Structure 1
Amino acid sequence: MAGIGSYLKKHTEALVKDVGIEPACALTGKSKATLGRYYSDNPEHADRFMPVDAVVLLEKEASFPFVTTALAELQGGSLSFEDRRQNTPMKGGVNADVIALSQRFAMLMSEYQQSIEDGIITVNEAKRLLRETSLLQRVLIDMKLHLEEESA
């Protein structure tokens, strides 16, 4: 259970940080402290997880369904998700891209660390690493487009 809980908490943290702590509080009606407990790795919060309705509200605003994807992966499944939503202008600019880049890289490193713990990268682990790498690449493409836009 510890591995599952830790995995869900990492993805919950990524979700909250992707949306932003203040907007996440406004969307869910939860305090910063409560949201923090949902992804805290402190032993006293080990059994606290974000309610499903809060996950739905946040994932509607997030750039990626972090928690839903983690849940699918824990069950041996995967999701097909198009993160480039139609009729939505690209959010932010280069500064937002740098933040997204660091978050995606942190997720990739987290997946990598978890994958090599036993010294073997399984097929499912490789798929998760590939997905994270692809998402990192998309952030870089967005950043390139923003930089091209600003230099024109």
Structure 2
Amino acid sequence: MSKMGSYLKKHTEALVKDVGIEAACKLTGKSKATLGRYYSDHDEHADRFMPVDAVMALEEAASYPHVTGALAELQGIGLTFDGKRRNTKERANVNSDVIVLSQRFALLMAEYQQSIEDGVITINEAKRLLRETSQLQQVLIDMKLHLEEEAI
């Protein structure tokens, strides 16, 4: 399987798990087995990807557009995600964003320090680092939106 295909399948899996497998089945009208095939890395499923309408239905329910973000990254495109995210309080201005940015960066560095202590970053540690990096990215997106609002 190509690196691109593997990357998309990992983000498809993240999307399904973000929504929850049962909810994903209801939203897409697909079975658990079918959804599993969309993110399976087995050779017999290498050319099987989730249809765009199913991605759209799931991303509408998800906390982040995982597959759309992955597609954009693969094409070198930046996205602005301004949807309301769960567990995120509204920040009123750029000053608040700078504080949250500093806090998130400190969390990322703490996670990195803990992960690299033994000289090896395990898959679970990499997932935690990726999660922290994504949270940091969200803060930067919020900051960008607030800067754009102030520039108008």
Q: Which amino acid aligns with 2:136?
A: S
Deviation at 1:77, TM superposition (A): 0.4
By how many angstroms is 1:70 displaced? 0.5
SS at match of 2:76: coil
**Aligned with 1:106 (options 127, 131, 146):** 127
Give the letter aligned to residue 2 of structure 1. Answer: S
Q: Percent identity?
A: 64
- Number of the residue aligned with 2:136: 134
Cα RMSD, aligned residues only = 3.0
- Pairing 1:72-111 to 2, within 5 Å after superposition: 72-85=72-85, 90=87, 106=127, 108-109=129-130
Report the TM-score when normalising by structure 2.
Answer: 0.59
CA distance in 2, matches of 1:62, 1:53: 14
Unaligned runs of 5+ in 1: 92-102, 111-128, 138-152
Partner SS for 2:127: helix
User: Normalised by the size of structure 1, how large is the TM-score?
Assistant: 0.59
Contact 1:27-1:58 at 8 Å conserved across structures: yes
In structure 2, what residue type is equivalent to 1:106?
K
Query: For the Cα contact (< 8 Å) 1:108–1:133, is it kept in 2?
Result: no
Pair 1:3 & 2:3 matched? yes
- 2:93 matched to which residue of 1? none
Q: What amino acid sits opposite 1:49 in the alignment?
A: F
- Structure 1 counterpart of 2:71, which letter? L
Mapped partners of 2:33, 2:14: distance in 1: 16
State the one-letter code of the partner of 1:65.
Answer: P
Deviation at 1:90, TM superposition (A): 4.6
Gaps of 5+ in 2: 89-123, 140-152
Deviation at 1:45, TM superposition (A): 0.4
Output aligned runs, 1:29-108, within 5 Å.
29-85=29-85, 90=87, 106=127, 108=129
Contact 1:15/1:58 (8 A) holds in 2: yes
The structure having more radius of gyration, on CA atoms, is: 2
Alpha-carbon spacing, 1:70–1:20, altered in 2? closer, same or farther (3 Å): same
Question: By how many angstroms is 1:109 displaced?
Answer: 4.4
